[in-house]
A and B are shown apart, each in its own frame.
Chain A
């Protein structure tokens, strides 16, 4: 079943939904990257929760106008309108009052959602409201979806993705350095507006598939995951698109194949699994690799300080330093330097003396920038330069003040 689903073998509707979820995932991943880079990831949480009253009121209005109220396009339009109002409220609270943006986000999301619940409970008391199925918008439900709805969702997701791809350059520029963008004549406010429009579009399309509580995950998890693997903006976008697309595709396929598995949560969990792998295993920023790097670095610092202390005949107080020095045969248990230790210490001291000269000479300003107390001179300067520096050392090594 799962394999059939993964290879789109479960019928027209399931295939449309799976493809739609994959496209939505890509659009959400790339669109969410801009939010993440601007450090406004949780704004999407306010936007998504703020759709609920709009969806409910749209139902009420459509029923009032004589329809059956379940028209997907109508419901999503309602959601988009109230989400936009919610976004305006967040912006107004965080710019016009002393409240910080996180407080504005929390206030808007809880109040709009609370009001949405009020509307939903009202709808349940309406005669036409009992089968409205609006609860499906909370957690997403793609089972038994109308074919026309599936088509609408897949198309809307594709449109959103197209919008993201068209706007990616200006969005990247603003996300990376808003002040520079402004200085070069870009209308940052309008580009920000476009970013929010993308987030809004992703949210609204995702309402039916992932549900409004979890759609925020599709915007946040992919960029955070991609960030572990690269330091470059364009690759974050690419990676986030891949992570988002994979989550949507695999999640929707599993949900179509396995009964009782709701679409939204499984999509989020696939993304979360990718995130966890990245958090632990990514080279450079991953946990395993940075713990190893830090320990290695700390050892280097302690060793270097230990050697300098040896060279200057100062006692070593710190246990870690002592242990490292002894382990490497640089020092005996009683604190006396070994032959090897004295040689290494002399080299370290000479290196310090050379650095002292370099850091005092404007001509070597570029090299002096690289001073970190550990790097050996040979790695920074050529042999000729070092000879020139050695000539300027006050006296043979050891004469360093």
Chain B
């Protein structure tokens, strides 16, 4: 494949895929160790109602209000889960199940009942996005990467996702030590004065930022898969947190790149005419990686 074909058609979606995968996998490591892996599941389900409400309130399909709406919905969901768990003394899994299904149902209902048919907003899109459509038409080849005119027309999703990745990575780097201590031994963390409650909430908020930014480009399936599969596979490879995070970044990147390539070209190799969903394929590849780690990982038991 030449640069003149690769750069406009595949480079941007691939880079977005990598940013999404890594931005989700980083907080996913801590969520996994805190037995909160399914928070990612809950967050990505409630993004839909957030976006719908934002659309109904503003009347436009614009990125900023939708991102805010989605982030707001994620916070509402986390608060509701925590409230139900504490006030009703319900186990966290069940509380989560109640909240995200209810909010998702509300989102779907709002969507179906309001006149959104004219705009590009539907449930399928919310579930599996459309990574393939994020092409960079103004690029002509590798040289476009240095061409300000072409760069001006770079799909906005790429810088947005890259920004989210930076935010997530910075948070993890700055709060590495408190996150590690409070995940390992919460009681001890409190005795040395760490505020474990706000810290746990901040982790969820950062995960929500990653999920919300990723959602528009790739849909919620890939988000859930990247929150859980790369960190889970990485956990089976090592007994050190530092190494686990490194492995998870590697797995996420491999899943994003090979998933995208397989979705785009796999069917052609098999003789079919069209490509299949890249988001779905990235999730599938991450599952294959996890299966391999579960069968052969040095720290699987």
Contacts and interface: CB of A to CB of B under 8 A. Distances in A.
- Direct contact between A and B in the complex (CB less than 8 angstroms)? yes
Nearest to A140: B108
B87 A45 contact: no
A50 B113 CA distance: 28
Nearest to A116: B280
Contacts of B257: none
Interface stretch (A101-109, A178-186, A349-357, A371-379): A101-109
A118 B109 contact: no
Which of B104, B277, B281 is the most central at the interface, judged by chain A CB atoms within 10 Å of its CB?
B277
A37 B112 CA distance: 35
A107 B300 contact: no
B283 interface: yes
Interface residues of A, number: 61
Contacts of A109: 41, 224
Interface stretch (B55-63, B152-160, B163-171, B286-294): B286-294
A113 B224 CA distance: 10
Interface string A272-283: 100100010000
Interface string A104-133: 011101111111111011100100000000
A41 B96 CA distance: 10
Contacts, number: 206
Interface residues of B, number: 65
Contacts of A105: 37-38
Contacts of B19: none
A224 B95 CA distance: 8
B227 interface: yes
A93 B87 contact: no
B113 A114 contact: no
Given A138-B124, A228-B88, A287-B88, A261 B280 contact: no
A92 to B, nearest CB: 8
A232 interface: no
A111 B284 contact: yes
Interface in B72-93: 84, 87-91, 93
Contacts of B281: 114, 118
Contacts of A112: 287
A206 interface: no
List 7 tightest A-B contacts by C-beta distance, closest first. A114-B283, A111-B287, A117-B280, A217-B101, A110-B225, A265-B105, A268-B105
Interface of A: 36, 39-42, 44-45, 92-93, 96-100, 102-103, 105-107, 109-118, 120-122, 125, 135, 138-139, 213-214, 216-217, 219-221, 223-224, 227-228, 260-262, 264-266, 268-269, 272, 275, 279, 285, 287, 290
28 contacts: A40-B93, A41-B97, A42-B38, A42-B94, A98-B235, A99-B232, A106-B38, A106-B224, A106-B228, A107-B228, A111-B284, A114-B281, A114-B283, A121-B276, A139-B108, A213-B104, A214-B104, A217-B105, A220-B101, A224-B98, A227-B90, A260-B113, A268-B101, A268-B102, A269-B106, A272-B101, A275-B98, A285-B88
